Amino acid sequence: MSSTVHHIRGPQNPLDRLGRPLHDLRISVMDRCNFRCPYCMPKEQFHEHYRFLKSQERLSFEEIVRLAGLFASLGVRKLRLTGGEPLLRTNLADLVGDLTDVPGIDDIALTTNGVLLGQHAVDLHANGLKRVTVSLDTLDREVFTRMSGGFGALEQVLAGIEAAIAAGLTPVKINAVVERGLNDHTALDLVERFRGSPVIVRFIEFMDVGNRNQWRPDLVVPSRELAARIHERWPMRPISENYKGEVAQRWRFDDGGGEVGFISSVSQPFCGACSRARLSSEGKFYTCLFATHGLDLRAPLRAGTSDADILQLIRGVWHGRTDRYSELREQLRHDLYSFGCRAPPGHGRCQRQEADQADGHGRSAGALPAGRRGGAA
Ligand SMILES: C[S@@+](CC[C@H](N)C(=O)[O-])C[C@H]1O[C@@H](n2cnc3c(N)ncnc32)[C@H](O)[C@@H]1O
Ligand code: SF4
């Protein structure tokens, strides 16, 4: 059915149980990826026989645009297109163009591994994309190969970044996941390469998202440790956030070389200000990166449900939202290891528990990698 959302303005934007508004929507447009980053989609699990979604199981562009309009009427102002790898979705620039017409949306961003960015940067910009975030964990070729699971080439990602700058998708942000003993020794090289350019490097603490990424607390390099290492080489000081709820803490170099960011989801969780909702490529609405269950919006969309009724569903879920997984992580780890894998409902971090919940795709809901719900940043 056609949407009447453009005429619907929520009388009051919903707040969740902890008083947080709904402001951002991360839309995973593609569950597949052309990388196999071990921290996100380890190839042992996402192998050649892994059952990804069939194309008709993914939300169509029309469905995504309709849902974006509904979310906008509840207060969402910012959209981030992500995946999997969003640039694997054919004609993604057309979707960007359609989303720029959605009333209420004033910011559209894209997170990509950058391999295909060189081919699409100009079209994306022409269709209304303003900026892009490229994930790049290291400049060391060997480490890059390990961290991409052996796919893609560093040169392609660097060319993608250059193409984004040339197309005007600036400032380009770089997301670098840091894992102790794997790429932390290369972090300063990334800073050095992009200091003084229209690129802002942001370091992300390795997170325990998905259930087979071999996460261990000692593999997390706390942002304060990394910041101290960088500060020793290039003195810098913290600066204020660009907007309320920004996930990255910003630091500016004293010598005018620009800034770096730190996304400290493990050491300094930011659940208290989290206003992000997530839409998976199959149309499930999640209220947290770590949530094990999402509300299926594809079924009502395809059953001809009215905008008003779908809005009611979304509003109901947001009203009931209590997620603050990262803040509870320490307590959860204690529960897992001390009390035989009994994580609180809705946060099945225990592999045995998750295997028991396996869904029709031969994977468990809690096993969804960051890619299925768009990652942290
Ligand atoms: C899931 S990816 C999807 C978009 C695209 N494929 C990319 O890599 O940019 C979004 C972001 O999540 C981050 N991410 C994935 N798994 C993570 C983990 N275990 N810990 C921290 N960040 C993670 C990625 O580095 C990336 O910046
Ligand atoms: S982080 Fe992005 S590029 Fe890497 S496997 Fe996940 S979705 Fe793919």
- Sign of the CA dihedral running 229, 233, 235, 236: negative
**How high is the pLDDT of residue 209?**
81
In a domain, 336, yes or no: no
pLDDT tens per residue, range 148-185: 999 999 999 999 999 999 999 999 999 999 999 999 99
pLDDT tens per residue, range 16-72: 999 999 999 999 999 999 999 999 999 999 999 999 999 999 999 999 999 999 999
In a domain, 377, yes or no: no
Give the number of the ligand closest to the Cα of residue 149.
2
Count Cβ atoms below 10 Å from residue 360 Cβ, excluding itself: 6
Q: Atom of ligand 1 at shortest distance to CA of 35?
A: 6
| Residue of 27, 29, 31, 33 best suited for mutating to test ligand 2, as the one with most atoms within 8 Å of CB | 33
| Residue of 88, 116, 175 best suited for mutating to test ligand 1, as the one with most atoms within 8 Å of CB | 175
Q: How far apart are CA 87 and CA 99, in angstroms?
A: 16
**3-state DSSP call for residue 288?**
coil
* CA–centroid distance, residue 5 to ligand 1 (Å): 31
Q: How far apart are CA 229 and CA 105, in angstroms?
A: 39
Q: How far apart are CA 311 and CA 146, in angstroms?
A: 43
Answer whether the bond into residue 84 is a cis peptide, omega within 30°.
yes
In a domain, 8, yes or no: no
Give the number of the ligand closest to the Cα of residue 45.
2
Average pLDDT over residues 184-212: 93
In a domain, 174, yes or no: yes
For the entire predicted model, the pTM comes to: 0.88
Q: How confident is the model at residue 368 (pLDDT cuts 50, 70, 90)?
A: low
Read off the tokens for 11. Answer: 């009388």
**How high is the pLDDT of residue 234?**
98
Q: How confident is the model at residue 236 (pLDDT cuts 50, 70, 90)?
A: very high
**How high is the pLDDT of residue 372?**
59
Average pLDDT over residues 86-104: 98
Better-scored residue on pLDDT, 181 or 214: 181
In a domain, 40, yes or no: yes
**How high is the pLDDT of residue 328?**
81
Q: How far apart are CA 308 and CA 66, in angstroms?
A: 12
Q: Atom of ligand 2 at shortest distance to CA of 85?
A: 7
Contact at 8 Å (CB) between 34 and 115? yes
Give the number of the ligand closest to the Cα of residue 114.
1
Better-scored residue on pLDDT, 117 or 329: 117
Phi, psi angles (nearest 5°) of residue 30: -155, 125
* CA–centroid distance, residue 34 to ligand 2 (Å): 8
Average pLDDT for the chain: 87
Average pLDDT over residues 240-262: 92
In a domain, 373, yes or no: no
pLDDT tens per residue, range 18-34: 999 999 999 999 999 99
Give the number of the ligand closest to the Cα of residue 39.
1
Q: Atom of ligand 1 at shortest distance to CA of 85?
A: 6
Give the number of the ligand closest to the Cα of residue 134.
1
Identify the CATH number of the domain in which residue 131 sits. 3.20.20.70
Q: Atom of ligand 1 at shortest distance to CA of 134?
A: 9
The residue nearest atom 14 of ligand 1, judged by CA position, is 375
**How high is the pLDDT of residue 326?**
80
Read off the tokens for 120. Answer: 């699409």
pLDDT tens per residue, range 139-149: 999 999 999 99
For ligand 2, residues with CB inside 6 Å are: 33, 35-37, 40-41, 83-85, 113, 135, 369-371
Return the closest-CA partner of residue 32 out of 84, 90, 91, 89.
84
**How high is the pLDDT of residue 330?**
57
Count Cβ atoms below 10 Å from residue 152 Cβ, excluding itself: 22
Element (H, E) at 365: none
The residue nearest atom 4 of ligand 2, judged by CA position, is 37
Statement: residue 358 has pLDDT above 80:
no
**How high is the pLDDT of residue 270?**
77
- Domain total of the chain: 1
**How high is the pLDDT of residue 1?**
45
Q: How far apart are CA 29 and CA 26, in angstroms?
A: 9
**How high is the pLDDT of residue 290?**
86
pLDDT tens per residue, range 266-324: 998 878 889 999 999 999 999 999 888 999 999 999 999 999 999 999 999 999 998 88
Q: How far apart are CA 153 and CA 172, in angstroms?
A: 19
**How high is the pLDDT of residue 374?**
62
For ligand 1, residues with CB inside 6 Å are: 33, 39-40, 82-83, 85, 111-113, 135, 175, 177, 204, 206-207, 209, 213, 370-371, 375-377
Domain range enclosing 49 = 24-325
In a domain, 70, yes or no: yes
In a domain, 60, yes or no: yes
